[in-house]
Amino acid sequence: MSGVADVWDTLAAEVDGRAWQPELARWVEVKRFEARGGRVYAMVANRRDLVYYRLEASEIDLLQQLDPLARWVRSSSPSSSCPANSMPR
């Protein structure tokens, strides 16, 4: 039986949550904004289902940790010196 894999070991490796990392679907975009007074927020757009979510600053940081390769849309704000506009793509 040296060439046969144990079904339980194989199943355990497939369902191990430590190896899995969440990622946004390809039709989801995130755009970060800075409101008057310096408050930072982001809008998450699900372009497939036309659903939109508003995230506060702490939630933006969490989203970046969960999916560092998420598609970020550049802000169209004329203030390029604003730190909210220097986000990952």
Residue 11 lies in a domain: no
Residue 6 lies in a domain: no
Q: Which domain holds residue 35?
A: 21-85
Residue 48 lies in a domain: yes
Cα–Cα distance for residue pair 89/73, rounded to 1 Å: 7
pLDDT at 17 > cutoff 60: yes
**How many Cβ atoms sit within 10 Å of the Cβ of residue 60?**
19
Residue 57 lies in a domain: yes
Residue 7 lies in a domain: no
Residue 2 lies in a domain: no
Q: The whole model's pTM is what?
A: 0.59
Q: How far is CA 21 from CA 3, 56, 69, 73, 88, in A?
A: 30, 22, 11, 22, 18
| Domains in the chain, number | 1
Residue 47 lies in a domain: yes
Residue 68 lies in a domain: yes
Instruction: Give the pLDDT confidence of 18-49 residue by residue, as tens digits.
Output: 777 778 888 999 999 999 899 999 999 999 99
pLDDT at 83 > cutoff 70: no
